[in-house]
């Protein structure tokens, strides 16, 4: 599969623009969180133990680190008052906390979901794909089938790209965006625009 001028534009202009928007929104949200953070909270663990934390500061990962290094290393996703919660997302108040590793369905699902994002980024960076939430992709203006990319899952180029991304240890970060911010961030991806507008 050769290079395409639309792919080059996508990779050199669109991706950096999206990253810059993400970083700008994240910085704004972090600034707001710092302004409201600090009050003490009680975190009740699955065994009934209570840990102390700080509102909008302490994360499930912080709690896991306070319990053991192995829990911090193996924890993939938390549950806060029955809601799945990113390990680095600050807790908002008194809560009940569970932490799941790969032995739990919640942990496995999170691991595979995160792995799909790594594949998506590899395809994005190598082919300039425009991915939908459903996984269909079109590099540049040329239609491609998902089967083509499934066949390339183990290709040398994609495998090297995936390994490089994993070795970079990029954090999985979460921000909340308005509809307009989401449309701005994904304005060049017709699949995402359609999903956002729905």
Residue 106 lies in a domain: no
Q: What is the mean pLDDT of residues 162-169?
A: 82
Same domain, 18 and 76: no
Would you say residue 9 lies in a domain? Answer: yes
Read off the pTM: 0.72
How many domains does the chain fold into?
2
Q: What is the pLDDT of residue 144?
A: 44
Determine the Cα–Cα distance for residues 115 and 121; give it in Å rounded to an integer: 10
Ramachandran region, residue 143 (left: φ > 0; alpha: ψ -120 to 50; beta: rest): beta
pLDDT given for residue 61 in this prediction:
97
Q: Is the pLDDT of residue 2 over 50?
A: no
Residue 57 in domain: yes
Which carries the bigger pLDDT value, residue 142 or residue 16? Answer: 16
Position 156 scores a pLDDT of 72
Whether 123 is covered by a domain: the verdict is: yes
How confident is the prediction for the chain on average, in pLDDT? 82
């Amino acid at each position: 599969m050769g290079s395409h001028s639309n792919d080059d534009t996508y990779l050199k202009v669109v991706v950096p623009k999206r990253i810059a928007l993400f970083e700008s929104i994240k910085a704004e949200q972090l600034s707001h969180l710092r302004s409201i953070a600090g009050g003490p909270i009680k975190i009740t663990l699955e065994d009934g133990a209570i840990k102390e934390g700080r509102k909008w500061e302490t994360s499930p990962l912080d709690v896991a680190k306070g319990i053991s290094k192995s829990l911090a290393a193996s924890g993939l996703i938390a549950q806060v008052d029955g809601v799945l919660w990113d390990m680095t997302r600050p807790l908002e108040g008194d809560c009940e906390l569970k932490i799941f590793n790969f032995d739990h369905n919640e942990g496995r699902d999170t691991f595979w979901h995160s792995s799909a994002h790594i594949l998506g980024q590899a395809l994005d960076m190598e082919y300039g794909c425009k991915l939908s939430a459903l996984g269909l992709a079109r590099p540049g203006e040329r239609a491609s089938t998902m089967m083509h990319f499934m066949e390339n899952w183990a290709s040398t180029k994609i495998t090297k790209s995936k390994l490089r991304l994993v070795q970079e240890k990029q954090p999985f970060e979460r921000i909340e965006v308005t509809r307009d911010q989401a449309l701005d961030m994904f304005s060049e991806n017709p699949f995402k625009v359609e999903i956002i507008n729905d």
